[in-house]
Amino acid sequence: MPRTRAAHPRPAWTRLSDAQLLRMRFCDLEVSIGRSRLKGCLQRLYRELESRGIDFKPHAWLSEEWFSPDGVPGIAIPFYLAHPRLERLERRMMREVEGGNSRWLMRILRHEAGHAIDTAYRLRRRKCWREGFGHASIPYPDRYRARPGSRRYVQHLGGWYAQAHPAEDFAETFAVWLKPKSDWRRSYAEWPALHKLKLVESLVDTVRGVAPPVRGRARIEPIEENRRTLAEHYRRKLARYGRYRRGLADELLQKIFVSEPARAGSVRAVTLLRGFRERTVKLVARDLDLEEYTVRQILRLLIARSEALSLHVAGSRRAAVQRSRWMLAYLSQVYSQGETPQLSL
């Protein structure tokens, strides 16, 4: 009996090494949503929207990252979710795959659908939207300071992302409201965030059966038009993560130490950090299951930055040592999650 040919032949690049795959251009990958698990997840999203009385279905395309563009009621999905081989490369490069399992993927899709619905029906222009979530026109911050204990925001994607910007607050609230069987009325019964969930429901009530005024099908930065190589993509992405981590180191140092000595003879932060024994490095590495070399490099970064910032110990030296050890462990973990692999970029 002749062998049946697969409906979708395995791309030749799936057999390449990571170093070889990184030299591929996005436009040469020839992956699509329709030939991946993403198709079923999008259909599931559309069913959830339909069950809530929303007829509009945001279009989706593959790009470099997750986003929903301003003025375009659609969803850009990262390329690596279109093929298991690309997921493996993403995990190797970034230590995680955002949306890498079905539950996580649906959470992000519901969030991005919130942005798309907001755009399609121009909800942010309404007075009640602005009163509930704030002004969407304010600039996005480079970083945001979250209040973990606040009950004014829903918790959905993690990292208290609803607190990042009014548009993210709406998208996160929409996602919680949309999720089937979420029982948000009971879960958020004692939270001020309940008002926002009810606001989302009332906004949706006004657009049921109504054609959205914004129905563009543009695709922003689709991978089939992207001539960058995967290496160029990851070089930029890793650099972005690196800047974030260096900024985080400065922020934590300035929380533990002060720029002006509290009194004559105050211990310099660089002196305290240089006094850390090798045993401290070994314990942090053991507790986090990291290489001692990694922890040692983070300690060197903290020493260099504390010297550049001219920081001093304020208050108890013992307390400063304890907090500095916590900082070393925390930053070692953060850096290890975005460490650049030894590949040719």
Residue 95 placed within a domain: yes
- In this structure, are 244 and 197 located in the same domain? no
**Average pLDDT over every residue of 332-339:** 65
- In this structure, are 169 and 258 located in the same domain? no
Q: Give the pLDDT of residue 287.
A: 87
pLDDT at 35 over 90: yes
- In this structure, are 201 and 241 located in the same domain? no
Residue 234 placed within a domain: yes
**Average pLDDT over every residue of 192-202:** 97
- In this structure, are 36 and 168 located in the same domain? yes
**Average pLDDT over every residue of 32-55:** 96
- How does pLDDT run across 59-99, given as a tens digit for each residue? 999 999 999 999 999 999 999 999 999 999 998 888 789 99
- In this structure, are 217 and 234 located in the same domain? no
- In this structure, are 209 and 143 located in the same domain? yes
Rounded CA-CA distance 73/57 in Å is 9
Q: Which residues pair with 25 in a beta bridge?
A: 229
Residue 282 placed within a domain: yes
- How does pLDDT run across 199-233, given as a tens digit for each residue? 999 999 999 989 999 999 999 999 999 999 999 99
Q: Give the pLDDT of residue 261.
A: 74
Contact 149, 91 (CB under 8 A): no
- In this structure, are 212 and 246 located in the same domain? no
- Choose one of 194, 225, 256: the last residue of a domain: 225
Residue 7 placed within a domain: no
**Average pLDDT over every residue of 178-192:** 94
Residue 153 lies in domain: 12-225
- In this structure, are 56 and 190 located in the same domain? yes
User: 242: pLDDT confidence band, cut at 50, 70 and 90?
Assistant: low
- Choose one of 163, 195, 225: the last residue of a domain: 225
Residue 5 placed within a domain: no
Q: Give the pLDDT of residue 171.
A: 98
Residue 6 placed within a domain: no
- Choose one of 192, 207, 225: the last residue of a domain: 225
Burial of 66 from C-beta contacts in 10 A (0-12 / 13-18 / 19+): middle
- In this structure, are 102 and 212 located in the same domain? yes
pLDDT at 249 over 90: no
Residue 32 or residue 1, greater confidence: 32
- In this structure, are 192 and 241 located in the same domain? no
Q: What is the DSSP string of 179-220?
A: STT--HHHHTTTSTHHHHHHHHHHHHHHHTT---S------S
Mean pLDDT of the chain: 88
Residue 1 placed within a domain: no
- In this structure, are 19 and 134 located in the same domain? yes
- How does pLDDT run across 258-299, given as a tens digit for each residue? 887 766 678 899 999 998 878 888 888 888 888 787 788 788
Q: Which two tokens stand for residue 182?
A: 């979420």
Residue 345 placed within a domain: no
- In this structure, are 254 and 160 located in the same domain? no
Domains of the chain: total: 2
pTM of the model: 0.74
